[in-house]
Chain A
Amino acid sequence: MDDLGRRLLDEFQRGFPLTLRPYADVAARLGVDEDTVLDALRALKDMGALTRVGAVFRPGSVGVSTLAALAVPEEHLEQVAALVSAHPEVNHNYQRDHRFNVWFVATATDRESLKAVIEDIEAETGLDVLCLPMLESFCLDLGFGLQWS
C-alpha cells in the first residue's frame, strides 16, 4: 500500500466532498490529479481494501433490519452460506467460530418484507433463524482509525 492509498483510506472516511467533481477535490487536498485518485481508488477496490465510497445509515432510520444467525452443520456450511448470500436483502454474511456459525444482516423496507426474507431462508435451508434485532445503539459508526505500523 502506497502513501496515497493510505491517505485515501484514512482521511476520507467521513465528509467526502459533495461537489460536482468530488474526486478532483480529493485530489487537490492530496496534491495529485483527479485521474490519479480514481486510479488509486480502483486499485484499492481491486485489492479488496476498499468496499465502496458510500453512506453508512443510522440503524433503523431507513427500512427495517435484523442481525440473524444460523447453526449450520459443518458439512452444509458452504451451501447454506451461498443460499443466504443470494438474497439481495442480505448485505453482510460472516462465518463465526461458534455453534451459531453463520451470521448475517438482512434489511428490507418494512417488517413484512423482512419477515418474508427470513421465512424464505428458513424454508430454503431447513434451519431455524435466530433473529436478534437491535433495540438501542450506543455508538455511531464514525469510521475506523487505521494504524499502519
Chain B
Amino acid sequence: MVVTWRDRRLIEALADGLPLAARPYAELGRMAGMDEDEVIERIQAMIAKGIITRFGVIVRHHELGYRANAMVVWDIPDDDVARVGEAMADFPFVTLCYRRVRRPPLWPYNLFCMIHGRERETVLEQVEQVARGCGLENARRDILFSLRRFKQRGAIYRRDWPALELAAGTGG
C-alpha cells in the first residue's frame, strides 16, 4: 500500500478538512500544487486502496450530547487477544478496538476499545455486556472516561517535506 509523495501533499492540505466553498477540490489543489481533477483522482485512489477508510463529515461526539466517552483497556493473554479483539469489535457501540503494546509494570493492558455514550451509566453497562460477551468477567481492566478535549484535528505529516515544496505548497 503505497502513499506517494504527491499523496502526502494532498493529505496535508486535507488536515483541516475540505474547504467550505463551491469548488473545494480546486482549493485543495491550490494548497497541494495540483489541479482539481488530480485531487479527486488521488482521493478516489486512496479510498480504493483502503488508505482512506472513510471520507465525509467527522462529528464531535461531545457537542452532540455524547458526553460519556470511555476508553476501556483490558489485559488479555497474548495468545487470545485476536479472538477477543474481533469479538469486541462486533458490538455495535464499540467504535474502535486496537491491540497495543503493553508496558509493564506501569501499563499492563494490551487491548483498547472506545465507547461513546450519552450517559456514563449506560456506558458502564455496555462495558459489562462486552465483558460477559467476550468471557472477560475476570480479566483485569480499567475504564478511562474523558474529562476534557484539549485538541482534535486531522493528522499532518509535513515535517520531512523538502523546504522548497513546503514553500510552494500551503504558503505556511
Contact = CB atoms under 8 A, between A and B. Distances in A.
Interface of A: 1, 8-9, 12-16, 18-24, 34, 38, 41-42, 45, 47-59, 61-63, 65, 67, 69, 81-82, 84-85, 88-98, 100-105, 107-110, 113, 130-146
B64 A59 contact: no
Interface of B: 1, 3, 7-8, 11, 14-18, 20-26, 36, 40, 43-44, 46, 50-64, 71, 81-82, 85-86, 88-89, 92, 94-103, 106-107, 112, 116, 142, 144-160
Given A61-B1, A132-B100, A142-B54, A54 B155 contact: no
Nearest to A51: B58
Considering residues B7, B22, B71, B142, which has the most beta carbons from chain A within 10 angstroms of its beta carbon? B22
10 contacts: A55-B55, A58-B51, A92-B152, A94-B146, A97-B145, A103-B144, A137-B97, A138-B85, A139-B89, A139-B95
A113 to B, nearest CB: 5
Contacts of A24: 22
B150 A84 contact: yes
A90 B154 CA distance: 9
Contact of A89 (B17, B103, B148, B156): B156
A56 B153 CA distance: 11
Given A91-B153, A132-B107, A62 B51 contact: yes
B24 A56 contact: no
Contacts of A57: 11, 51-53, 155
B148 A95 contact: yes
B72 to A, nearest CB: 11
A18 B36 CA distance: 10
B97 A54 contact: no
Nearest to B50: A58
B150 to A, nearest CB: 4
A133 B11 contact: no
Considering residues B59, B106, B158, which has the most beta carbons from chain A within 10 angstroms of its beta carbon? B59
A95 B99 contact: no
A18 B160 contact: no
Contacts of B59: 9, 13, 49-51, 144, 146
A55 B52 CA distance: 6
Given A130-B107, A144-B61, 20 more contacts: A16-B56, A48-B63, A50-B59, A53-B56, A54-B17, A55-B11, A57-B51, A59-B98, A85-B150, A88-B159, A93-B150, A96-B144, A103-B146, A104-B151, A105-B155, A131-B103, A138-B88, A138-B97, A144-B116, A146-B64
